[in-house]
Amino acid sequence: MSRLRWLTTGESHGPRLVAVVEGIPAGLALLAEHVDEHLARRQRGYGRGGRMKIETDRVELIGGVRNGETLGSPIAMTIVNRDHQSWLDRMGAGPLPVTPEPLTRPRPGHADLAGGLKYDRHDLRDILERASARETAARTAVGAVSRRLLAEIGVRVFAHVVSIGPVDAARLDLPADELEARARASDLACVDPEAEAKMKDAIKEAAHAGDTLGGVFEVIATGVPPGLGAHVQWDRKLDGRLAQALMSIQAIKGVEIGDGWLAARSRGSRVHDAIHYDAGGRRFTRPTNRAGGLEGGITNGESVVCRAAMKPIATLKRALPSVDVGSKESFDAAHERSDICAVAAASIVGEAMVAITLADAVLEKFGGDSVRELRRNVAGYREQIEAF
Amino acid sequence: MSRLRWLTTGESHGPRLVAVVEGIPAGLALLAEHVDEHLARRQRGYGRGGRMKIETDRVELIGGVRNGETLGSPIAMTIVNRDHQSWLDRMGAGPLPVTPEPLTRPRPGHADLAGGLKYDRHDLRDILERASARETAARTAVGAVSRRLLAEIGVRVFAHVVSIGPVDAARLDLPADELEARARASDLACVDPEAEAKMKDAIKEAAHAGDTLGGVFEVIATGVPPGLGAHVQWDRKLDGRLAQALMSIQAIKGVEIGDGWLAARSRGSRVHDAIHYDAGGRRFTRPTNRAGGLEGGITNGESVVCRAAMKPIATLKRALPSVDVGSKESFDAAHERSDICAVAAASIVGEAMVAITLADAVLEKFGGDSVRELRRNVAGYREQIEAF
Amino acid sequence: MSRLRWLTTGESHGPRLVAVVEGIPAGLALLAEHVDEHLARRQRGYGRGGRMKIETDRVELIGGVRNGETLGSPIAMTIVNRDHQSWLDRMGAGPLPVTPEPLTRPRPGHADLAGGLKYDRHDLRDILERASARETAARTAVGAVSRRLLAEIGVRVFAHVVSIGPVDAARLDLPADELEARARASDLACVDPEAEAKMKDAIKEAAHAGDTLGGVFEVIATGVPPGLGAHVQWDRKLDGRLAQALMSIQAIKGVEIGDGWLAARSRGSRVHDAIHYDAGGRRFTRPTNRAGGLEGGITNGESVVCRAAMKPIATLKRALPSVDVGSKESFDAAHERSDICAVAAASIVGEAMVAITLADAVLEKFGGDSVRELRRNVAGYREQIEAF
Amino acid sequence: MSRLRWLTTGESHGPRLVAVVEGIPAGLALLAEHVDEHLARRQRGYGRGGRMKIETDRVELIGGVRNGETLGSPIAMTIVNRDHQSWLDRMGAGPLPVTPEPLTRPRPGHADLAGGLKYDRHDLRDILERASARETAARTAVGAVSRRLLAEIGVRVFAHVVSIGPVDAARLDLPADELEARARASDLACVDPEAEAKMKDAIKEAAHAGDTLGGVFEVIATGVPPGLGAHVQWDRKLDGRLAQALMSIQAIKGVEIGDGWLAARSRGSRVHDAIHYDAGGRRFTRPTNRAGGLEGGITNGESVVCRAAMKPIATLKRALPSVDVGSKESFDAAHERSDICAVAAASIVGEAMVAITLADAVLEKFGGDSVRELRRNVAGYREQIEAF
C-alpha cells in the first residue's frame, strides 16, 4: 500500500548505519548537505551527554543519486560510527579472537531483557546495540530525503518542544515560520524563552539528582494538501499511520493529534472546527485547527499537528533494581555517563517520521516517477479542488 | 511482515458489512456466538442514540469455517444492515431510478469535506457512508476471531472507560479479572461505580445542552508472553503498531502506552520498572508496570496497557457553522438524532484492535498453520525462556 | 507497494464466494453486468463437465458501489454457490448435527495431501474445498473491475488458447481486435478454426480414454502505456509480478513473456526488438514485439504478451494410485464426473490476473483517487513522453 | 505476509552495492566467506566478458552480525564496485564539476528507453546503471544468507544449466548430490559433459558471429518439508512466488515448475504423481516428481524443481537498429565488449532467488526469532506429520 519503502540497519557501535529508501521519484535535487543539516540538529540539545560531542555525523550517499539528483532507484545512505574503531574487538562481524565478556545485566526501561528472551541472546549487548537511539540517525537521514520531496510541493515540517518534565511552554499564537525560527534558535527547540530557561533549570536539577527527564514535542506540517490518507480502511487512515510513526521512536509512550487528550475532556461544540469558504482563495478554511488537520483519517487542508510524549531516559546514575540474567542475582543498575534529557533531539526524529509518513501519503495519492510528473499531478489536483 | 491480513467493507446503509481475515490457523473453535457476543457489547452503552436499539447485529460466517472450526482458509463474515431496506432507493449498487438528492452540507469533525475533495464526490453521502463508525462492527468481528485465537495461548483482552468528559474514574488497584467483570457489568464500561454515576450525569447534561462528550478508555491484555514485537525496525515495534491500531478507530485523537503522558512529566527514577526474578515461577517480574508491558517495542511479560482518547461525537444538536459545497453558502450544521457519548462502545472496538494486533504478533513470532502447531510452538518457547 | 489490495474467500460448496478489492478510484462506472459477462465466459468451454451447466454465476455488489459508480471505498462482491443447499449437512459453518464422513483419500495432483499435512486436517475436504478452481470465479470478478478501470485509459486485455494437449494453433498475424473477436466466438477461445477442430477431437479422444488434457493460453494487453513496472527493485519488476499472477492460477505450471522459451534457443540478433521513431505519432515503435512489451521489467509501449501452460485436470476417470491417509492403504483414485479440459476457462482467469496486475501498476504509477484524477494524470504523462 | 524483507541498492558503477535483509533469526552462523563463495561462483562461467575478470567481489558485513553470528537485527552487506574510482567524474553522487555527456542511444532489449520515458531521464545512463545485471551480486549475497538458514533445517538449493541456445543437456537420472557436484565442477554449470562441449562450441560460434546466446537453467531444492506456501490465497501460493522470484531476474523470460510446458502437452494420466506410503520412514512418497514438488501451491515433500529461460544478452557486436532519443535519428547499436552467454551466472542468481523464497516460506510457517526456536518448531512439525 505504501509507495515508499525504507529500512535502517546497523548497530550502535558497529561500523556504519545504513538507511535505504525506495520509491522517491527521479529528478529530486539531493545533496549530502541536505541530510547532514538534520543529522547535526539531531545531535545538539541542552542536556545531552558526552557521545554527542565526539561524533559529528556525516552521510555518504552511495546509491540512487548522481550529480546531485535522484535517479528513481533506491537511495542508500551510510553514516560511519566513528567510535567503531575502539570497539573492533567486541563488535566485529567476523569471529573475534577472544569472545567478549557478555553483558548480563539488563537495564530497566530498555529492550535488554525482553529482547534477550525473544532472540535467545545471553549477551544482552546483542540486543541493546540495535535498540539504541543511535538508530534514529538513520531515520533522520530518510526524513531529510522526504523533506526534500515535500518541499517540491510546498509542504514543510518542523517540531518544537512543548514541555520538559513538569515545565510547560506557553502556547504562543505565532505564524508557523516564526515558531520554526524560534525552535531552530533554541537549545531545547522551545519557542517560549521563559519556559526554556525553566526547562534548563529542571534539567540541571535532575542531573544533580542523578536523574533524567522526558517531555513532549509537537510536530507541525504546513502546506499539506487536503486528501492525504483515506477513511476507507483502517490502515489507510493517516492519523493511525502518524501515530505508528511517532510511537515507534525510541522512548515515546504517547501520541496525540490536534487537541488530543484535551478534546476527550471537552464538549463537542468546543472541539470541532467550523467550515468557512474563502472565495478569493477558492478554498475551504477553518477558523480553528483543533482537529490537527485530520478528519476521518484524511488531511483537511489545515496544518497537520501531532504531539509525542517521551519518557525520561532509562540510563541513569540513580540506581534501578535489576537482576543478572546469568546468576539471577539482584543488582542496582547505575550508570556513569548518560544524557539527562533528549527531548529536543527526539523532536528532530519526530520531524523525520512525520515527513516520511507524509511523503509516502503524497506518493500514494499522486503517483509520479519523476519530480516533474509529481508536481504536475499535484497541480492538476489543486486546480480540481479549487473548482470543486 | 504481518501474518494476519484483514479488510472490512461495506457502507453504513448498504446491504451488508463484510469482514475478511486471513492467516488464522486451522482447528480453532469458532462459532457465530463468539462474534455476536462482542457485536452486542459494541451496541450497548449509556448515551447512545436510537439506531443502536433498532439493530441487533448478528454475524454470518460464510467462509473459512466448517462444523464450528476454522480451516486455515480466509474467514469471511457478514453483518446485515437491517435498515438497508429503507435505503434501497438511495443506496442501491445498481443504477437508481431517480438520482438521489445530493448531500452537500459537510459536517465539521467528519470526513465529509476532506473525503469529498479527495475522491471528487459532490454528494457527500458517498463519503460518510463509509467513514461512519458503523464500520467498527466489522472490526469487532475480526477482533472476536483474534480473541478466540489468543485464548488458546492464555491471552485475554478487555477494556474499561477511565474518563468521560471531565469525569475521571479512580485508578483502582484490583486484579484484572475483577476489573474486567466490573467493566462488563457497567453501562459505561467503568469499573468505579461512583465515577460512573457522575459520568452519566455529565452525559445527561451534555444531552440537555444539545452537546456531546468524549472520553478515554484503557485496554489491558493479560497473559502476554514476552517477546512479541521487535526492536529491530521501526515498523516491527509493537508499541507503534498498537498506536496505529487504536488511532485508526473513528474519533480517536490520542494514544498512550503505560504511564504515557504522565511518564513525560516524571523523573526517570520514577518511571522505569525494576526487574525482579521469581525463582519459583522461573520468570522475571516487575513490581510496577509503568511501561505498560512494552520495552523497546517488545512485550516484556507484563500486561499490555494502552489508553485511547476519543473526541466528542461530531454530529450534535448545537449548531456548528459550515458551508454548502454546492452553493458555497454558510449554514449551521445541526442534527436531530445522535449519540451523545460512545466511549463505552469505542472501548469494545479498542479491545478488538488490540486483540488483532496481538494475534498478528503472536502468529508472526510463532508461526503455525494449525492451533495444535501454534500451541506447541508457544509451549516450546515458554520452556525456553523459563530456562533462560 | 501495491496500491490495489484484494482477497477472495469462500469454499467451493460453502454458501458464497466473496471478493474484496480495495484501491479502485471513485467515479468508475461499474454494474453487475460488467462482472457477470466474464463470470459467464469463465463457465463455458468445450470439454467442461456437468457442474458448469448447473450454475450460472451472478455477482452481487455489496460494498463500494452506489448508483452504478464506485465510491473509492473497498468493493465487495459475492457469488452464491447454488448447490450449497444440498451441502448444508456437510459444509455448514456451525456445529453439524452429525460429523460428516471424512474424506481421507488424497487425489494426486491436488492440494489434498500437502494441505492436509500443513493444516493438520484429517478430513481432506477441509483443504480441497478452498483449493478448488471454484475460487477463480472470485478472481474473475476482481478482474472484471480491473478491466473497467483499464478501459478508462485505453487498455484492453484478452486471451486465446494456443494449444490443447499436442495440438497447436497457428500463430496468425491478425490485428488484436480480430484475434479477440475470434477468441470470443470460439468454444475453445481459439483463433484458428482448423486447430480448434483438432483440439476438439483431442478432447473427445481423451474423454474416451478416461483421461484429461491441458494446454497453453496467451494473454494480450493492448494500449498499455510505457513505464508501468520498474527496474529498480526485484519485486517492482512487472514481468515478475505477471509471472506470479499467472502461476498462482490453479493448475498452471509455466509462464512465459514474449518469445519466452523460444528466445532462450535463439541468438541475440534474432531476439531483441529494434527501436524506431514515428515522428507523426511522436512515439518510439518496434517492428517486432519479441519482448512481449516488457524490457527491464518495465512496459515499453508495445502490447504485453504472456503465455501460461496448464497441466491436465487432475481428477480423472483413469486410476491414479494413492494412499488413504487414515489406514495408509493404497487405493486407486478414479472419478466419475469431471471436466476433461478447462484451458479455455483458465484463459479467462488469465485475463483477470493480467488485468488486475496491470491495474495495480497503473495506480501505482499514476495515483489518483477519482477516475477523473487518474485520467488527468495519465494524459499529462502521455503528453510528457510525446515531447520526450 | 512475508516475514523476510530485503532490498538491494546501488548502481553498476557507483561506489557500492548494498543488500539489506531483515527477518533472519538470531544465532545463525554467518561469515563473509559464506557469501563470498557464491559471489565468486556468480562471476565465473564460460562466455563471460572482461569485467568479470577485473572484479572479485567481496562482501563486507556491516550490520546484524557479530562475532560470526546473526543478532536478529537487519543484516547489511556491501560489495565495493572496484571500478568506481575510474567513474568518479561521471557517477559521483554530489554535483559533478562537468556535467557528463549524456548517453542518448537506447539499446534494444534493455530497460534504457522504457526507463528513460518512465523516469523522465534524458541521460539513459541514469537508468542502465541500476537495470544492469550487476545488481544480481547483491541478490546473491541475500541468497547466501538464506542458504545458511535453510541448511539449518536440512534444505539445500543448487542449479544446473539444461540448455544453451539450441544445445540441450541430457536429463540424467542421478542423485541430487551428484548433479550438484557436477554442476559445480563445470564451466557452464552443466551436468552432461558431452552437451557442455557442444554448448561451448555454440558460444564460440555465436561470439564469432558477433552474437550472443541464452539458455535454460534448472534450480533444485532438496530436503524441503511438505507444507510451505499455501493454497488459501493467490499470493500465498509458493509456485507463484517462485515464478515471480525467477522472472524478476534480469533477462529471464520464462519460468516453469516440474514438467511445466511438457505437462501442458501430455495427458493427465501421464502427469500426476502417484502417492505411496513409506511405513518405515513414516512419510508419503512419490515414485515420480512431475509436479516439481508443488501441488496446490504447497510443497509436497518432494524436491522443488523450477526452470527459467534466459534470453540472449542484449548487448552485442552485431548491429541492432535504434534511435537517438535526443535527435530522434536512427543508428545501429553495436558494442565492442560484452559477455556472449551468462546462463551459468544466471543460474547462481536463480539459486539465490529460490533460496530466498524458500527461506521466507519457512519463516512464515515456522516463525522463530532464534535458530534454536526455528529448529525446535520445525522438529515438532516433522514429528506431527510423521504421526499424521
pLDDT of residue B45: 80
CB-based contact D267 C212, cutoff 8 Å: yes
Secondary structure class of B220 (helix, strand, coil): strand
Which grid cell sits at B37?
457476543
Please name the residue of chain B whose CA is at the shortest distance from the CA of residue D6. B1
Q: Which of B122, B261, B339, B382 to mutate to test the interface with A (most CBs of A within 10 A)?
A: B261
CB-based contact D311 C227, cutoff 8 Å: no
Which grid cell sits at D47?
562466455
| Neighbours, chain A (3 or more CB pairs < 8 A) | B, C, D
Burial class (CB in 10 A: 0-12, 13-18, 19+), C160: buried
CA distance C182 to C218: 14
- A5-386: CATH number: 3.60.150.10
Tell me, yes or no, if A360 comes closer than 8 A to chain C by beta carbon.
Answer: no
Q: For A100, which DSSP code? A: P
Residues in chain C: 388
Q: For the residues B273-281, what does the mean pLDDT come to?
A: 96
- Sequence-distant (≥ 6) Cβ neighbours of residue C205 within 8 angstroms: none
pLDDT of residue A227: 98
CA torsion D232-D236-D239-D241 (nearest 10°) is 170
Query: Phi then psi for D159, rounded to 5 degrees?
Result: -130, 155
Question: How near does any CA of chain A get to the CA of B353, in Å?
Answer: 10
pLDDT at B51 over 60: no
Assess contact for C159 and C39: CB atoms under 8 A: no
Tell me, yes or no, if C272 comes closer than 8 A to chain D by beta carbon.
Answer: yes
The predicted-structure confidence for B146-173, as pLDDT tens digits, reads as follows 999 999 999 999 999 999 999 999 999 9
CA distance A368 to B88: 40
Indicate the helix (H) or strand (E) that contains D309.
strand D304-310
CA distance C20 to C258: 31
> Cα separations (Å) of B373 from B5, C126, C247, D300, D368?
20, 17, 29, 18, 13
Give contacts of B233 with chain D, Cβ < 8 Å: 22, 74
CB-based contact C364 A367, cutoff 8 Å: yes
Q: Which of B234, B285, B325, B378 to mutate to test the interface with A (most CBs of A within 10 A)?
A: B234
Tell me, yes or no, if C63 comes closer than 8 A to chain A by beta carbon.
Answer: no
Burial class (CB in 10 A: 0-12, 13-18, 19+), A270: middle
Assess contact for C258 and C292: CB atoms under 8 A: yes
Question: How near does any CA of chain D get to the CA of A349, in Å?
Answer: 20
Tell me, yes or no, if A256 comes closer than 8 A to chain B by beta carbon.
Answer: yes
- Percentage of chain B modeled with pLDDT above 70: 97
Q: For B24, which DSSP code? A: P
CA distance B50 to A100: 68
CB-based contact B233 A263, cutoff 8 Å: no
CB count within 10 Å of CB B331 equals 15
Q: Rg for chain D (alpha carbons), in Å?
A: 22
Burial class (CB in 10 A: 0-12, 13-18, 19+), D33: exposed
Give contacts of A277 with chain B, Cβ < 8 Å: 323, 328, 330
Question: How near does any CA of chain B get to the CA of A29, in Å?
Answer: 27
Secondary structure class of D191 (helix, strand, coil): coil
Residue carrying the nine cell digits 509537537: A218
The predicted-structure confidence for D277-318, as pLDDT tens digits, reads as follows 999 999 999 999 999 999 999 999 999 999 999 999 998 888
CB-based contact D8 A74, cutoff 8 Å: yes
Residues in chain B: 388
Query: Phi then psi for A374, rounded to 5 degrees?
Result: -60, -45
The predicted-structure confidence for B127-144, as pLDDT tens digits, reads as follows 999 999 999 999 999 999
pLDDT of residue C44: 84
pLDDT of residue B229: 98
Pairing of β D167-168 and β D156-164: antiparallel
pLDDT of residue D318: 84
Of the candidates B14, B61, B96, which has its C-beta nearest C93's C-beta? B61
Please name the residue of chain C whose CA is at the shortest distance from the CA of residue D126. C232
Question: How near does any CA of chain C get to the CA of A63, in Å?
Answer: 11
Tell me, yes or no, if A292 comes closer than 8 A to chain B by beta carbon.
Answer: yes
CA distance B260 to A256: 11
Assess contact for B303 and B226: CB atoms under 8 A: no
Residue carrying the nine cell digits 525510541: A250
CB-based contact C365 A367, cutoff 8 Å: yes
CA distance C75 to D228: 31
CA distance C116 to A193: 69
Of B137, B291, B163, the C-alpha closest to B218 is: B163
pLDDT at B55 over 80: no
CA distance B25 to D230: 12
CB-based contact A384 C364, cutoff 8 Å: no
CB count within 10 Å of CB D44 equals 15
Residues in chain A: 388
Q: For B376, which DSSP code? A: H
Of the candidates A114, A120, A249, which has its C-beta nearest B298's C-beta? A114
Tell me the one-letter amino acid at C215.
G
Q: For A250, which DSSP code? A: T
Assess contact for A361 and A238: CB atoms under 8 A: yes
Tell me, yes or no, if A2 comes closer than 8 A to chain C by beta carbon.
Answer: yes
pLDDT of residue A318: 84
CA distance C90 to C14: 9
Tell me, yes or no, if A318 comes closer than 8 A to chain C by beta carbon.
Answer: no
CB-based contact C380 A377, cutoff 8 Å: yes
Burial class (CB in 10 A: 0-12, 13-18, 19+), A101: exposed
Quick one: pLDDT band at residue B337, thresholds 50, 70, 90? low
Please name the residue of chain C whose CA is at the shortest distance from the CA of residue A377. C377
Of the candidates A1, A22, A227, which has its C-beta nearest C5's C-beta? A1
CB-based contact B230 D72, cutoff 8 Å: yes
Residue carrying the nine cell digits 450525569: B201
Which grid cell sits at B205?
447534561
Of A1, A76, A67, the C-alpha closest to A29 is: A67
Which grid cell sits at A114?
525482553
Burial class (CB in 10 A: 0-12, 13-18, 19+), C50: exposed
Burial class (CB in 10 A: 0-12, 13-18, 19+), D332: exposed
pLDDT at C55 over 70: no
CB-based contact C165 D108, cutoff 8 Å: no
| Neighbours, chain C (3 or more CB pairs < 8 A) | A, B, D
pLDDT of residue D316: 86
CB-based contact D211 C268, cutoff 8 Å: yes
Tell me, yes or no, if A233 comes closer than 8 A to chain C by beta carbon.
Answer: yes
Residues of chain A scoring pLDDT < 50 = none
Q: For the residues D243-248, what does the mean pLDDT come to?
A: 98
pLDDT of residue B50: 57
Of the candidates B7, B72, B373, which has its C-beta nearest C74's C-beta? B7
What does the DSSP assignment read for C98-123?
A: SPPPP---PPTTSSHHHHHHHHT-SS
Tell me, yes or no, if D12 comes closer than 8 A to chain C by beta carbon.
Answer: no
Quick one: pLDDT band at residue C53, thresholds 50, 70, 90? low
**Cα D310 to chain centroid, rounded:** 11
- Sequence-distant (≥ 6) Cβ neighbours of residue A203 within 8 angstroms: A46, A47, A164, A165, A213, A340, A341
Tell me, yes or no, if D67 comes closer than 8 A to chain A by beta carbon.
Answer: yes
Assess contact for B66 and C89: CB atoms under 8 A: no
CB-based contact A3 C364, cutoff 8 Å: yes
Q: For B303, which DSSP code? A: P
CB count within 10 Å of CB C386 equals 10
CA distance C245 to C261: 19
Query: Phi then psi for D112, rounded to 5 degrees?
Result: -45, -55
Question: How near does any CA of chain B get to the CA of C63, in Å?
Answer: 4
- CB pairs A-C closer than 8 Å: 73
Question: Would you tell me the crossing angle of helices C136-152 and C343-366 to the nearest 10 degrees?
Answer: 50
Q: For the residues C244-261, what does the mean pLDDT come to?
A: 98
- Sequence-distant (≥ 6) Cβ neighbours of residue A357 within 8 angstroms: A238, A241, A242, A245
Assess contact for A169 and A198: CB atoms under 8 A: no
Assess contact for C222 and C156: CB atoms under 8 A: yes
Assess contact for D9 and A20: CB atoms under 8 A: yes
All structural domains of chain A with their residue ranges: 5-386
CB-based contact D129 A66, cutoff 8 Å: yes
The predicted-structure confidence for A253-277, as pLDDT tens digits, reads as follows 999 999 999 999 999 999 999 999 9
pLDDT at D320 over 80: yes
Question: How near does any CA of chain C get to the CA of B148, in Å?
Answer: 15
Tell me the one-letter amino acid at C109.
G
CB-based contact C372 A366, cutoff 8 Å: no
Instruction: Measure CA of the first residue to CA of the last residue in chain D; give whole Å.
Output: 27
CB-based contact A226 B117, cutoff 8 Å: yes
Give contacts of C366 with chain A, Cβ < 8 Å: 367-368, 377
Residues in chain D: 388
The model carries a pTM of 0.98
Residue carrying the nine cell digits 523460444: C262
CB-based contact B14 C120, cutoff 8 Å: no
Question: How near does any CA of chain D get to the CA of C277, in Å?
Answer: 7
pLDDT of residue B182: 97
The predicted-structure confidence for B171-224, as pLDDT tens digits, reads as follows 999 999 999 999 999 999 999 999 999 999 999 999 999 999 999 999 999 999
Q: Rg for chain B (alpha carbons), in Å?
A: 22
CB-based contact A120 D27, cutoff 8 Å: yes
pLDDT of residue D49: 67
pLDDT at C333 over 90: no
Question: Would you tell me the crossing angle of helices B343-366 and B32-43 to the nearest 10 degrees?
Answer: 140
CB count within 10 Å of CB D208 equals 9
CB-based contact D380 B377, cutoff 8 Å: yes
Query: Which 118-137 residues of chain D touch chain C by CB within 8 A?
Result: 118, 120, 122, 127, 130-131
Of the candidates C11, C66, C92, which has its C-beta nearest B93's C-beta? C66
Quick one: pLDDT band at residue C317, thresholds 50, 70, 90? confident
Secondary structure class of B275 (helix, strand, coil): coil
> Cα separations (Å) of D306 from B6, B111, C131, D190?
32, 50, 22, 16
Tell me, yes or no, if D372 comes closer than 8 A to chain B by beta carbon.
Answer: yes
- Sequence-distant (≥ 6) Cβ neighbours of residue C15 within 8 angstroms: B60, B62, C80, C81, C84
Question: How near does any CA of chain A get to the CA of D236, in Å?
Answer: 17
Which grid cell sits at C10?
469462500
pLDDT of residue A3: 87
